[in-house]
Structures are given as structure tokens and as C-alpha cells.
A and B are shown apart, each in its own frame.
Chain A
Amino acid sequence: MMKYKVKLKGFSRSFLKKEWAVALSFIILLACKKDMDQNPVPQEPFKGFYQPEHFPPILQPFDVTKINEKSFALGKRLFYDPILSRDSTIACGSCHIQASAFTHHGHDVSHGIEDKLGRRNALPIQNLMWQKNFLWDGGILNLELVAISAITSPVEMDETLPNIVEKLKRSKVYPQMFKEAFGTNEITSTKMLIALGHFMALFISDKSKYDEVKRGKAQFTEQEQRGYNLFKQHCEACHREPLFTDQSFRNNGLQHFFSIDKGRYEISLLDGDEGKFKVPSLRNIEITAPYMHDGRFSTLMDVLNHYSSGIQNYPNLDPLLINKIPLTEQEKNDIIAFLKTLTDPSFIRDKRFSEF
């Protein structure tokens, strides 16, 4: 014990006199630290992933602790870069526009390169870490694998991952960005997809009026409150709070064209899954028109009219909808007033996510 103290004394004395020795040992330390020390002090502190207090635990096995300022910046650049499509015309951001909660506002189904049409309505990109699976049919399980679907689809970006890697390697900016994000010069499609994941994982929409009410910082108007009560009575069984989806697949009685799209059946191959689609979240629903998997409805009133009187009877129609959801006009308007409280203005204006 005594010896130790003596040593420490010696340590502090030589610290003053032999700074260069300390510097030398620091250099040795730094040489090894490369992996951990990606970011020199940023000007503004980078806000990584966070868990909103009223959200359930995340479901994706994606490692959010690795998200850093540089990998996020790389993901953002990739997201808005048409280099990801075969003829360099379409970026992820082309069909996922921030002002519309990253949907393709005004398009029933999205168009890819050369104006080719897809068959489904682009889903919003928000709160991805809480999803069990992705896309209308739940075909993809991992966040970082979703982009492959759009990149390689012949009617979307129609590009191959190896081609993209070649383009990125030839670029003037990407090699440096990959190096800053991942610490090595190597550019791989895995790193590219993870960077895209790092960008999109931070698309957290949790600041709508509804959220503020839940936090006790705001109050619903009378009409919104009536709408909320009706919502809980008629809609919440599927659109479960606080994410406003129970992530199940259901046939909601839309007239279906099975030759074009069998929905969940295409993944599960289970009889009875024809025409089932994932229950979409209602967050930001006001600004994500059109609605349904094929974008057939352009207003929220159209959607409520469908549920109150338009439902078709299919053998696998969701049991909750067999008697439809009869609603008066007043009730529909009240529900719409409530749904508008799910719009998150700070999310769609967040500069961190914006193209320009």
C-alpha cells in the first residue's frame, strides 16, 4: 500500500517534468483506439436513438447503439442519392417524401424508373424499430434488408447491389464517408444497407398532439376527445395505441383483385391469408394519403365510408368487421378530428432528415 502511494507521487512529479513521455504513451493509446473514436467532438451534440417513454420496447434486432453522426450522415446521403437506381433517376427519397411522413403523396401506387408502376402504395417510414416485420405483406423481417427489396425490384430501382458498390467506389465522396462512418476504406453493400438503417432508425415520430396529451402537456378539444372515445370503441382493436397498429394481417373487406395481389398469402402461403394486409399505423395518417395497400382511397372520409358501409363479405373477412362499423356523419368527422392529432409536425420538418 505504501509503495503504491510512493509510486503515485513519482508519477505526478514526472508528469509535470516529462510531458513528452506522457504524450508518447497517449500516442500509443490512440493507435489502438481507432475503432472506437470515430467522431471528434461534433459542433452540436448528435442525438442518436432514443426510446419514447410511452412506447413499448423495440422489436428489431438492429443495433442502434452503433448509430453515430457519420454513419447517419452516410445513410442520409444514400437515401437521397439516385445512384441507387439502375439509371440513376430514382432515390429512396423519391417515393418516401418527408413532408408526407416519407410516403409518396398523391400516388396510389409508386412509380419506379422509366415510369414503371408498382402494385402497392408506398408505406410511411417512421418508428421502424418497433416493427416486427416490414412491407404490406410482412415479407421482410429486418430493417436493414428492406431496402434490398426496393433496390432490386424491376419496377422500382431495378439495380443490383454489386453495381451500386461499384458506383460508390468510383464516387468522389463516398469512400471518405464510408471511412468516417465505419473506420475502414472498404465499401460493401452490407455497410451501405446498415448506414441506410442508421438513418431510418432515427425516424421516430412521437411528438404529435396525441403524444403531448399522453405526456400531459396538451389537451384534446371536445371534438377530438369525442373522436378519441369513438376510436377506442371502434378502431383500437386493430390500430392499437401507441403505435396505432397491432401489426397483424387482416382482410378488411376491400374489393380484392387476387390475380394482382394476394397480400399476406404470398408470404405465408396459408389458405385464408388471401387479401390480408398489414394493419398500417395511423400516425401521420392525415398527410399520408392515399390510403390502403393499393392507394384506392384519397381521403380519410373515403376510408371511414368504407368501414361504415362499403365492406365486402369475404370468407376470410376479419371477424371484427362482419357487421361493418356503422357511423353517423358526425361520428366520422369526430374520428377524423382525432386522427389529425396523430400528425407530428416536428417529425416532418426535422432538419436532420430533410433532403435539403
Chain B
Amino acid sequence: MKKEMKNWFQIIILGIAISLTGCKKKEDDHNHDNPAPVQPGEAEIHLENRVGNVKFYLGENYVTEAGDTVKFTMFKYYVSNFQFIKEDGSVYTVPKDSCYFLVKADDVESQELHFKNIPAGNYKGVRFIIGVDSLKSAAPLEERTGVLDPATGAQGMYWSWNTGYIFVKAEGTCPAIPDSLQNKFKYHIGLFGGYSTPTINNIKTVELMFNQNVKISSNKKPNIHCYVNPLEMFKTPTTFSIPSKPIIMASPDSKIIADNYADMIKFDHIH
């Protein structure tokens, strides 16, 4: 009797053991990531919309470099593929699953980008792209989650007829645009360079160097405060007159706007 008891105990334990090994795989993966003795830290990048010295608001009048008076009704853009640059020049690359952000003028929270698990150390800058990289732009649907989900997250930033995302979307009004267009401008700038045949590549790399080395550690979470000027879309290198081309989407002219906005994000200070 005692022996039999022992036997079916063995069976149950065997069953549990098999079921546990079958199920555990997912939880296990995490534990091997950061064997470093020093605890990683966090950082925030704050992307605040500003025009010169004043805060930028949707619905306010601004004057562009070309002298056009404009009012934005929408301004949103993707930033992605972040790398934190250490003082020795080496980089920490933010993992793919947490490196895509959609920043919107009407959503203050979207302007705060949070980064976790950054190896502790001194950092002198950050590098990222405005837009979505070509690999992700051509990825299967299952790999497009969060802000890249064409249905929900992307919120009008996905082109249904042309693979890829709109990187920067700006819409608004300018009285100098003819009434036939209801004075409206629409700039939907995307294009990742094509997959099999090359086309225009409007992915812009931004590198922001801090004014001092920034320490990131488990007890130091810096906020990297940057200013974003939407009017940069219309100046340097090309002073762009909005009424001359009020609507630009997937067309060769998109390059003009993209080249212009490449420098719209500037580092300002750390706190």
C-alpha cells in the first residue's frame, strides 16, 4: 500500500513537472537580460512644442519664414529607434519593443517619452529618427503593435494604399490659400525609401548633444527637455511658401518638407 502511494505521488509530480516546464518558457526569458552588477536607470525625453520663445498651441496664429500667417489644427509625428550616447561614444540602443512613439500636439502626455532599463552611466547625447524605420514599415501586421497598429495606435498615420507610415502630419489653415481649398493646408509626410524598388527616403536622423554629461542611474532619472518648432517645416534649407503648395502627401515635394523638419527638434536643458 505504502509503495503504491509512493508511485502515484510520483505520477502526479511527473505530471506537474511536465506541465510546468511546458508553461514556464515565457517568464524565464526575462531573467537573463541584465546580469550587470549596477542597477539600470530611467530617463525621460520631453518634446515640447515651441515657436521661438513662446509655447506653441493649435489654433493660434503664427508667421512662417516666408511670411505666411498659419494656424495649425493638427501636428503629430513619430520618433523612434532611440540610442543613448555614452561619454565614450558607445551607445545604448533602446529595444525594438519600446522605441516607437507617436507625439501629438493635442496630447501632452504623448510628449513625455519614458525609457527604462538604461545601463547606468554618463551620457552625452541621444540619437533617434523622425519617422518609422523601413524594416518596421514593411513588417507583418503582428509586429505592428501599440502606436504602430494601423487600426488604433497609428491614429491616421498609416497609409492604407501604400505600405508605410506618415512620419509627420500637419494640417491647418492659411488665409493666402485659395477659398477653393477652404484655405486649408495638409502635409502628410512619409516614405521610408521603398522595399524592393528604391523611392524617396524621408527618414531623418536626429542627434542631440547635451550641454553637459548626464548621469543615469537607479536613483537618478534625468528629464531631457527638448523644444520642437513646427514652423521649421517651412524653413532651412528651403524657405517654403505654404500657398504655393498647400497639399503634399506621397509626392516628390515631400522631400522639401522632410529636409526642413530634420532640425525641428532641439535639445534645450536637463532637469
Among the 9-residue stretches A134-142, A224-232, A234-242, the one with 4 or more Cβ atoms under 8 Å from chain B is A134-142
| A interface, over-half SS | helix
Interface residue A172 (Cβ < 8 Å from any Cβ of B): no
Query: Is B200 among interface residues, defined by CB-CB distance under 8 A?
Result: yes
User: Cβ of B19 and Cβ of A29 under 8 Å apart?
Assistant: yes
Chain B residue contacts of A78, Cβ below 8 A = none
Given contacts A139-B162, A194-B142, contact A268 B194 (CB under 8 A): yes
Q: List the B side residues contacting A13 at CB < 8 Å.
A: 4, 7
Question: Within 8 Å of chain A (Cβ to Cβ): is B34?
Answer: no
CA distance A151 to B150 in the complex (A): 12
Minimum CB–CB distance for B76 against chain A, Å: 17
- A132 cross-chain contacts in B, Cβ below 8 A: 196
Q: A186-205 interface mask toward B, CB cutoff 8 Å, 1 = contact, 0 = none?
A: 00111001100000000000
> Distance in Å from the Cβ of A69 to the closest Cβ of chain B?
20
Q: Does more than half of chain B's interface fall in helix, strand or loop, or is it mixed?
A: loop
The answer, among B145, B161, B195, for a CB contact under 8 Å with A153, is: B161
CB of A49 within 8 A of chain B? no
By a CB distance below 8 angstroms, the chain A residues around B252 are 269
| CB <8 Å contact, B19 and A141 | no
- Among A31, A141, A149, chain B packs the most CB atoms within 10 A around the CB of A141
Residue of B with least CB distance to A148: B160
- Interface status of B149 (Cβ within 8 A of chain A): yes
Q: How far is the CA of A140 from the CA of B23 in the complex (A)?
A: 37
Bound together, the chains give a CA A21 to CA B10 distance in angstroms of 10
Interface presence of B32 (CB below 8 A) = no
Asked if A162 lies at the interface with its beta carbon under 8 angstroms from chain B, I say yes
User: Is B250's CB under 8 angstroms from A269's CB?
Assistant: yes
What are the residues of chain A within 8 A of B142 when measuring CB–CB? 63, 190, 194
Q: A160 to B151: give the CA distance in the assembly, Å.
A: 8
Contact A190 B196 (CB under 8 A): no
Q: Please determine whether A14 and B160 come into contact, CB atoms closer than 8 angstroms.
A: no
Chain B residues closer than 8 Å to A28, beta-carbon distance: 15-16, 19
Given contacts A32-B22, A268-B197, contact A140 B151 (CB under 8 A): no
By the criterion CB–CB under 8 Å, are A142 and B163 in contact? yes
| Selected contact of B140 from candidates A133, A142, A151, CB within 8 Å | A142
Chain A residue at minimal CB-CB distance from B155? A162
**Binary per-residue interface labels of chain B (13-34) against chain A in the complex, 1 for a CB within 8 Å, 0 otherwise:** 0111011001100000000000
Contacts of A268 in B (CB 8 A): 194, 197, 199
B138 close to A (CB within 8 Å): yes
Number of interface residues of A (CB under 8 A): 49
Number of A-B pairs, beta carbon distance below 8 Å: 121
- A61 CB contacts on chain B under 8 angstroms: 140
Q: How far is the CA of A189 from the CA of B153 in the complex (A)?
A: 11
| B188-218 interface bits toward A, Cβ cutoff 8 Å, 1 = contact, 0 = none | 0001001111011000000000000000000
A259 to B236, CA, bound (A): 32
Q: Which residue of B lies closest to A31 (CB)?
A: B19
Asked whether any CB of chain A lies closer than 8 Å to the CB of B11, the reply is: yes
Q: Indicate if the CB atoms of A10 and B162 lie closer than 8 Å.
A: no
* Chain B 230-264: CB-based contact to A (< 8 A → 1; otherwise 0): 00000000000000000000111000000000000
CA distance A122 to B125 in the complex (A): 51
In the assembly, what is the distance between CA of A348 and CA of B144, in Å?
A: 34
| A25, A31, A190, A270: the one within 8 Å of B14 (CB) | A25
Partner of B196, one of A11, A133, A165: A133
User: Interface centre among A17, A139, A160, by most B CB within 10 Å?
Assistant: A139
Question: A188 CB to closest chain B CB, in angstroms?
Answer: 7
Beta-carbon contacts of B158-197 to A below 8 Å, as 1s and 0s? Answer: 1011110000000000000000000000000001001111
Residue of B nearest to A189 (CB): B151
| A26 close to chain B: CB less than 8 A | yes
Knowing A18-B8, A266-B250, the reply to whether A161 touches B151 (Cβ < 8 A) is: yes
Q: Contacts A141-B138, A148-B150, A268-B197 known; A10 to B3 CB distance under 8 Å?
A: yes
Of B4, B18, B149, the contact of A190 (CB 8 Å cutoff): B149
CB-defined contacts of A254 to chain B, threshold 8 Å: none
B12 within 8 A of A: yes
Q: Does B219 contact A (CB under 8 A)?
A: no
Contacts of A194 in B (CB 8 A): 141-142
| CA gap between A15 and B14 in the complex, in Å | 13
Does chain B have a CB within 8 A of A5? no
A165–B4 alpha-carbon span in the complex (Å): 55
Q: What CA separation (Å) do A90 and B138 show in the bound complex?
A: 29
Given contacts A188-B151, A190-B151, contact A21 B11 (CB under 8 A): yes
Chain A residues with CB under 8 A of B12: 21, 24-25
- B140→A62 contact, CB < 8 A: yes
CB contacts (< 8 Å) of A218 on chain B: these are: none
Known A189-B150, A269-B200; further 13 A-B contacts with Cβ < 8 A: A10-B3, A10-B10, A11-B11, A18-B7, A21-B12, A24-B12, A25-B15, A142-B163, A148-B158, A149-B161, A161-B152, A194-B141, A269-B199
Listed in ascending order, the chain A residues whose CB lies under 8 Å from chain B are 7, 10-11, 13-15, 17-18, 21-22, 24-26, 28-29, 31-33, 61-63, 132-133, 135, 139-142, 144-145, 148-149, 151-153, 160-162, 165, 188-190, 193-194, 266-270
Closest 7 CB pairs between A and B?
A25-B15, A161-B151, A189-B151, A14-B7, A21-B8, A139-B162, A141-B163
**Could you list 21 A-B pairs, sorted by A, with CB under 8 Å?**
A10-B10, A11-B11, A18-B4, A21-B11, A25-B11, A29-B19, A29-B22, A63-B140, A139-B163, A144-B140, A145-B150, A149-B161, A152-B160, A161-B152, A165-B151, A189-B149, A189-B151, A190-B144, A190-B149, A267-B250, A269-B250
Binding site for A on B (CB under 8 A): 3-4, 6-8, 10-12, 14-16, 18-19, 22-23, 138-142, 144-145, 149-152, 158, 160-163, 191, 194-197, 199-200, 250-252
